[in-house]
Amino acid sequence: MVTVAKKVFHSHITGLQDTLHLLNDTALEQAVKALQEANRIEFYRNGGSGIIAMDAYHKFMRTGISCIAHTDSHFQIMGEGLLSKNSVVIGISHSGSNKGLLEALEVAKARGAKIIAIRSYQKSALIQLAEITL
């Protein structure tokens, strides 16, 4: 059991170190500024990224900024009537290529929302759609 625990801890440590090396300071500053200026934040996710979106929603709802995490692309599109140029939509996806997520983000962008992408792969349709990529 100790071996399994060590492997899990080392895996998480490696993931955090990799993220730190990939993190772009300028993009992070842009994301913080966009979030500070937003009057609405929406988290869109794909598949297994749902838990990440829900965790972010849980933390951001304490800021007093109107926010929500949608767990379904249909709800994402339905809720976009509330978006404006003062909104930020954070798209979270491992692959960055889910059709439903991309369609929802395209609609959000057309409504004037700023798009922030959180992804694993450097080259994806998601990062091409976003103004800020983390």
Count of residues in the chain: 134
Angle at the Cα of 32 from the Cα atoms of 28 and 34, rounded to 5 degrees:
115
Task: Give the tokens for residue 4.
Answer: 């399994």
Q: What is the pLDDT of residues 14-37, one digit of tens each?
A: 878 887 888 899 999 999 999 999
3-state SS assignment for residue 127: helix
Where the chain has pLDDT below 50, the residues are: none
What are the φ and ψ backbone dihedral angles of 118, each rounded to 5 degrees? -120, 120
Whether the predicted model's global pTM rises above the 0.85 cut = yes
Q: How many CA atoms lie within 13 A of 9 on its CB side?
A: 6
In order of their start, the domains of the chain are 24-133 (3.40.50.10490)
**Which of 122, 134, 124 is CA-nearest to residue 24?**
134
pLDDT of residue 1: 67
